[in-house]
Structures are given as C-alpha cells and as structure tokens.
C-alpha cells in the first residue's frame, strides 16, 4: 500500500480527517495546500499574483514531490482538474473521496476568505456539481461525511485500508 490520498470539495474536511487518520495509522500526514503555501505564500495571493494556471502547476509539482513513504495526503479540492494528477494518485496509492453535501460545505465556508474559488453563490454550486462527477470517477472509495465526526470518518478509512492490506 502506498499513500492514502483524500480528495473532495473545499470544506469537506480533508485536512482534519487526514490528521486523525495519521494518528490512527501512525503515518505521516501532508497537505498539498500547505506544501504550496510553504514555498509560495498564501494561496489567495498566488491566485491574485500569478493566476489559477500557475497555482495548478505548483499543485501538480508538490503532489509529485512527496518523498516520504506511505503518507496520508490531504489534497486541494481542484487536484482532480488535471487527469494526470488523478492517474498519478491511482498509481501511487489509494484515493478516497470525502463527500460532503453542498449544504454542509456552504455552512462551513460561510465566512471563508482564504479560498479564491469559493464565492458562496451559484458559481460555487456549479463548481460543486462539476467536481462531484470528477471525484466520483477519480476515487477508489467514497465516504459520505455529513453527520460524522472526523474521527468516525478516519476510523472508516482505517477499516477500508485494513481490508485491502
């Protein structure tokens, strides 16, 4: 078993679940957004300064730059926009879609100003619908996260991993 990649829409809890899962499985935890920010500064500024295309290039690069073994990787919500990233994750591990409802992510991201693609209007709903299909296609497994705690979700993933090993 290689890495465990968590994919899903903004606000679906990938980062928090990754930390819980890291504790349960005693594996290192990484986050592609944090890796990008460590090198290039806040995501909001990257979008403003260099645009989404450059951000996507940074994202693909940090995904491929992960050198630790068997990591839990929380990915940015748009990682699936590039099919090569999806193929890369399939080849290098196990991909899990954390599926939160639009209603739930809207609630969580209500006052969020750090995510340039979150607009809390019809655009966000359209993006959600478009991405939904991409996540479904891209994941080995998916988990509905509404009404579950991060620890419960991590425990479900740990069981799935056990079954595969």
In the complex, which residues of this chain contact ligand S3P (CB under 6 A)? Answer: 10, 14, 33, 43, 76-78, 115-117
| Smallest gap from residue 162 Cβ to ligand S3P (A) | 26
| Smallest gap from residue 139 Cβ to ligand S3P (A) | 14
What's the DSSP call for residue 94? E
**Between 27 and 131, whose beta carbon lies closer to ligand S3P?**
131
CB of 21 closer than 8 Å to CB of 70? no
- What's the CA gap between 128 and 143, in Å, rounded? 16
Classify burial at 48, counting beta carbons within 10 Å of its beta carbon; exposed 0-12, middle 13-18, buried 19 or more. exposed
What's the DSSP call for residue 81? G
| Smallest gap from residue 163 Cβ to ligand S3P (A) | 27
**Between 14 and 27, whose beta carbon lies closer to ligand S3P?**
14
- What's the CA gap between 106 and 124, in Å, rounded? 9
At 124, list the tokens. Answer: 């966000």
In 3D space, the residue among 123, 92, 130, 95 whose CA is nearest the CA of residue 109 turns out to be 123
| Smallest gap from residue 109 Cβ to ligand S3P (A) | 8
């Amino acid at each position: 078993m290689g890495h465990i990649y968590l994919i899903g829409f903004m606000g679906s809890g990938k980062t928090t679940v990754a930390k819980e899962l890291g504790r349960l499985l005693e594996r290192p935890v990484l986050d592609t957004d944090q890796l990008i920010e460590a090198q290039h500064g806040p995501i909001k500024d990257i979008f403003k300064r260099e645009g989404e295309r450059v951000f996507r290039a940074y994202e693909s690069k940090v995904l491929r730059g992960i050198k630790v073994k068997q990591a839990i990787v929380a990915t940015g919500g748009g990682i699936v926009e590039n099919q090569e990233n999806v193929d890369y994750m399939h080849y290098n591990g196990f991909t899990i879609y954390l599926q939160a409802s639009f209603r739930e992510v809207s609630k969580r991201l209500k006052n969020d100003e750090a995510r340039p693609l979150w607009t809390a209007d019809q655009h966000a709903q359209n993006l959600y619908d478009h991405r939904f299909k991409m996540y479904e296609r891209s994941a080995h497994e998916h988990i509905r996260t509404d009404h579950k705690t991060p620890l419960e979700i991590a425990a479900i993933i740990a069981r799935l991993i056990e079954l595969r090993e």
